[in-house]
Structure 1
Amino acid sequence: MDTQNLLFLLCFFVISLFSGQQQVVEGSRVSPFPFRPKKLFVFGDSYADTGNNRKDSASSWKYPYGITFPGKPAGRFSDGRVSTDYIAGFLGIKTPIPYRWRKQLAGRLKYGVNFAYGGTGVFDTLAQEPNMTTQIDFLQQLLNESVYTKRGLKTSVAFVSVAGNDYSTYTATNGSAEGFPAFISSVVSQITVNLKRIHDLGVGKIAVSALQPLGCLPRSTARFSYQHCNETENTLVNLHNQLLAQAVNNLNKQANSTSFFVLDIYNAFWTIFNEKEAHQESPKFENPFQPCCVGVSAGFSCASVDENGAKKYTLCSNPKSKFFWDTVHPTEEGWQAVYSTPAFQNSLKQLW
């Protein structure tokens, strides 16, 4: 199926599925908390991971990752801070420790735990790291070990990051274009199961990220000389986000609560992309689609070296001038910009 026909099919599917249905995520300004949340539990992928991946295999533990913060590779898929750090800052707590460091840094468990692993998804992916179901098992295990209590989790927050690794795996394993809508539906259905399970374990508020515009990641815009996005991919993203919004609304109706909400990363990204399109005199990022760190040729990526240890990537002179760090992940400055957008800030207000 060619791109035009796929785009038409997906647009028709979305219109047919959602015609006449409410698409706005329901929320409330009434806080369910008697005081500010004290713990943050994080599930998901590289957009939220702060150091769970294995040092011997993950690029996040190799130079030049981490050069802005903390000044060396430390397991974050960026030059510095990522979404988890900014959400923790919003809550006024320290960034929760990665699950793999829970024994070495037991004193920090009072702030929560980060269970996210770079490269993972709702289902198994090519990364061969714990998927989201297993990550939730880890929280269940901590409850079984009395590290936390269900009652104690009532005033905690969960952040669930879904950045598209399931879809990358689907494409890499020769999933058909015609089967994409059904696969998206299955991903969102499993996300729904996961959100409900986290809530049933006792977590009071649960934020799940909308999918960012995958067609605007540098890995997709590179073929267009980093000038514009892949609209077919973004149509798939829109379907995912529509289904997710509906699922979150249904969860809140079923629980008669406002415990679940969508963190609007999608519109936050677009706010930044549109700064250039609006021809502002001095947009924060001159070309938001062009990454700071990229492999010198096909087969190489940021942090790649050859058998002699020679660098096989190029690095920009100032990461603060770039929205994207590598072909997938924002820079620290990029995440700061996302965090500062009205879309992201309005989403975070639902914590109260």
Structure 2
Amino acid sequence: MACSYNQRFILFLSYAFSFTRVVYGVPQVPCLFAFGDSLADTGNNNDLNTMAKANFPPYGVDFPGGPTGRFSNGRNYADIIGELLGFTEYPPTYVTSQGKNVLMGVNYASGGSGILPETGTNLGEVFSFDAQLSNHNTTVTRINNALREKDPDNLSLLNKCIYLVGFGSNDYINNYLLPQGSETSTLYTPDQFADVLIKQYSAQLIKLYNYGARKIVLFGLAMIGCSPALVSMAPVKLESGCVDIANLAVKQFNDRLTPLVDTLNRDLQGAKFIFINSTHIASANPGLNGTAPAVTCCQTSNIDGRCVENQQPCNDRMTPAFFDAFHPTEKSVAPTAIRAYKSASPLDAYPMDILHLSQLPT
């Protein structure tokens, strides 16, 4: 039986305490917004016509209440960062948000989605980053209306919030690296494709800034070539244990994120973008997603790599890096979230971590 939220949080704090001091229940920022793919999705895909959903067992086996749509046995990185920021509740999904609960933030993340609008459509319906931004624009209107009722002279809430943004993995997995059905790999070299993504990403992030966001966290991509799904599809035995061509393609994208942060911070007045180096954090923690042997905790489908519905997962969910063929276990993702919040190395976050970002004046 899954332990209660408070019990689980106490266990989590005992693990996180060596990294930072957390004041539980005292949010360090007024609200938290999450944009991204299945690594942050908390249920936005549940009612979509898509294969990219996880609202069934064994997903959620360690999450209070069971399956929610999280692609994990438990929490994802957005959940953990929210806890570290002092929130006692998770932001609602966009599809369930209503009334004034949007004032604490909203989770827009959608499994399978990407920077490019066509990414993930091979799986069915998804909320692309463009669609998530459109949804956020609706939320901004709702927030501003609520704030006008409460205090017509104080509409600066959106500038103070933290915005988690993590896209790009699916632009490779469900677009560029698709063995068939995608033209991008024939149109672009990996270097050119990274430029295409960054150009689109930059325009989207500027739009988010124009909606009031100032404190924006960009997550780099993990080494997707080490995922069980990609390793299993490799035609020959891999000496490295990973699909190096996929990791090298992703590196092209990751290498452009620090310059992107510098450009946005220089050109946008009051902007405070930061970059989380997920690959470095994983490499500094042996056993994390992207460095561990490509084994899964649940029995997975050969079609899409998700857990087979209602099958019993592994008993030891503290050891495997991957829960299904693409997604990390809660244990695997927790150190990345913790070091994103408070870095343990200067290479973890640039130019600062989330803790220091939350403390900056607006």
* TM-score normalised by L of structure 2: 0.75
Q: Which of 79, 85, 95 is matched with 2:90 structurally? A: 95
Instruction: Map 1:20-35; keep pairs closer than 5 Å.
Output: none
Unmatched 5+ stretches in structure 2: 1-26, 148-154
> Shift of the alpha carbon at 1:300?
6.5
327, 331, 347: which is aligned to 1:329?
Answer: 327
Residue identity in the other structure for 1:291: T
CA RMSD, 1 decimal = 2.8
Partner deviation per Cα, 1:259-317 (whole Å, 9 max, x = no partner): 11112212122223xx36xxxxxx99994532212327x33744335xxxxx6x67322
CA displacement at 1:80 relative to structure 2: 0.7
Inter-partner Cα distance in structure 1 for 2:204 and 2:270: 17
- Does the alignment pair 1:209 with 2:222? no
What is the alpha-carbon distance in structure 2 between the residues aligned to residue 285 and residue 171 of structure 1? 17
Aligned to 1:119: 112
What pairs with 1:30-109 in structure 2 (closer than 5 Å)? 36-55=28-47, 57=50, 58-93=52-87, 94-103=89-98, 106-109=99-102
- Whether 2:164 is the aligned partner of 1:171: answer no
For residues 42-69 of structure 1, give each alpha carbon's deviation from its aligned partner in whole angstroms, at most 9, with x where no partner exists.
1111111111012474441111000011
Distance 1:287 1:234, change over 3 A: closer
Distance 2:67 2:230 in 1: 26
* TM-score, with length taken from structure 1: 0.77
- CA positional deviation for 1:92: 1.0
Identity over the aligned pairs, expressed in percent? 26
Alpha-carbon contact 1:227-1:289 (below 8 Å) kept: no
Is contact 2:305-2:326 (8 Å) kept? no
Moved more, 324-333 or 172-181: 172-181
Give the secondary-structure state (helix, strand or coil) at the position aligned to 1:250.
helix
1:1-352 to 2 correspondences below 5 Å: 36-55=28-47, 57=50, 58-93=52-87, 94-103=89-98, 106-124=99-117, 125=119, 126=121, 127=123, 128-145=125-142, 146-147=144-145, 151-168=156-173, 169-172=175-178, 173-176=182-185, 178-222=188-232, 223=234, 224=237, 228-255=241-268, 257=270, 259-272=272-285, 275=286, 287-295=292-300, 298-299=302-303, 301-304=305-308, 315-341=313-339, 342=344, 344=348, 347-351=353-357, 352=359
- Equivalenced residues, count: 301
Structure 1 unmatched runs, 5+: 1-34, 277-282, 306-310
Between structures 1 and 2, the one with greater helix share: 1
Once residues 155 and 326 of structure 1 are traced to their aligned partners in structure 2, the CA distance between those partners, rounded to angstroms, is 36
- Pair 1:147–1:320, CA change in 2 (3 A): farther
**CA distance in structure 2 between the aligned counterparts of 1:284 and 1:327, rounded to whole angstroms:** 11
